Amino acid sequence: MLRASNVTRSFGDERVFEDLSIDVETGEVLAVIGPSGVGKTTLLRLLALSREPDDGSVTFDGTDAWAVDEAERLSLRRRVGMVFQEASLFDAPVARNVEYGLRVRRSWSERLRGELRSVVGSNGTAEAVTEALDVVGLAEKTHEHAASLSGGEAQRVSFARALAYEPDVLLLDEPTSDLDPRNTAVIEEAIAEARSRDIGVVVATHDMHQAERVADRVAVLLDDRVTEVGPTERVFENPRDPRTRKFIDGELVY
């Protein structure tokens, strides 16, 4: 569905990665693992169609996102949701934060269809909002102010916001790196829920155990390339690339 092919990205003279290819399909979870600073965030930005690769292409259902006009690229971009490492909620009730996802990403026609789907429930909140908050176990916080949430709860609301507008692809950048085990477990369950809704999920993480728990496939990003990509169990138990093996065994020190 969403595919980066032979992409290269540099900042000035510094090449982050070169000739890298990666793809995510409907209803699968792909984990991108690699040490801090290797370029996971940079890769997610390419997949989010918010940055153009220096070389190579990013295609969505076969459409080259950087070969079409801005309006078409925007409509592709609207199909992608992103959750960042730090929750970026605004100063408003939880429901307003989650609704924001419903509003901004949709074109007018999609919004009209969306309105029908998100009929306001008896508590005055769009059902899609309540439902997304339910997935992250925070339906009871709907009317609370975002500022009153713990860091873990705020991150769960960020996830609900991304889920609420029903993206085709969800990109998660280290979504649990600052969270305790309980909040981490909730986010990991929400990832499974997204997959069951046929969303393609890419989760960038330096936590190999998390990748093992949540991912169908794993891509290992080391130095400036993907050293290995394949089914999670195979990559962890029988890595083919010697650098991947060292990384997984904790022998590569970064």
Q: Which residues bind ligand ATP (CB under 6 A)?
A: 11, 16, 34, 36-42, 174, 206
Q: Residue 99 is inside which H or E element, if any?
A: helix 94-104
Give min distance, CB of 177 to ligand ATP, in A: 8
Residue 104 identity (one-letter amino acid)? V
CB atoms near residue 151 (< 10 Å): 13
Give min distance, CB of 39 to ligand ATP, in A: 4
Q: What residue ranges in the chain does DSSP mark as E strands?
A: 2-11, 14-24, 29-33, 55-60, 63-64, 80-83, 169-173, 200-205, 217-222, 225-231
> Is 1 or 43 the residue whose CB approaches ligand ATP more closely?
43
In this structure, are residues 86 and 149 in contact, taking their beta carbons and an 8 Å threshold? no
In this structure, are residues 17 and 9 in contact, taking their beta carbons and an 8 Å threshold? yes
Name 252's bridge partners. Answer: none
> Is 2 or 221 the residue whose CB approaches ligand ATP more closely?
221
In this structure, are residues 147 and 177 in contact, taking their beta carbons and an 8 Å threshold? no
Give min distance, CB of 58 to ligand ATP, in A: 16
> Is 127 or 224 the residue whose CB approaches ligand ATP more closely?
224
Give min distance, CB of 249 to ligand ATP, in A: 20
> Is 128 or 202 the residue whose CB approaches ligand ATP more closely?
202
Backbone angles phi, psi at 48, to 5 degrees: -80, 0
Collapsing DSSP states into helix, strand and coil, what is residue 161?
A: helix
Give min distance, CB of 88 to ligand ATP, in A: 15
> Is 29 or 221 the residue whose CB approaches ligand ATP more closely?
221
Closest-CA residue to 10 (of 46, 53, 47, 66) = 53
Closest-CA residue to 35 (of 207, 179, 177, 172) = 207
How far is residue 64's CA from residue 7's CA, in Å, rounded to a whole number?
13
> Is 37 or 121 the residue whose CB approaches ligand ATP more closely?
37
> Is 10 or 21 the residue whose CB approaches ligand ATP more closely?
10
Give min distance, CB of 11 to ligand ATP, in A: 3
Give min distance, CB of 53 to ligand ATP, in A: 13
In this structure, are residues 166 and 177 in contact, taking their beta carbons and an 8 Å threshold? no
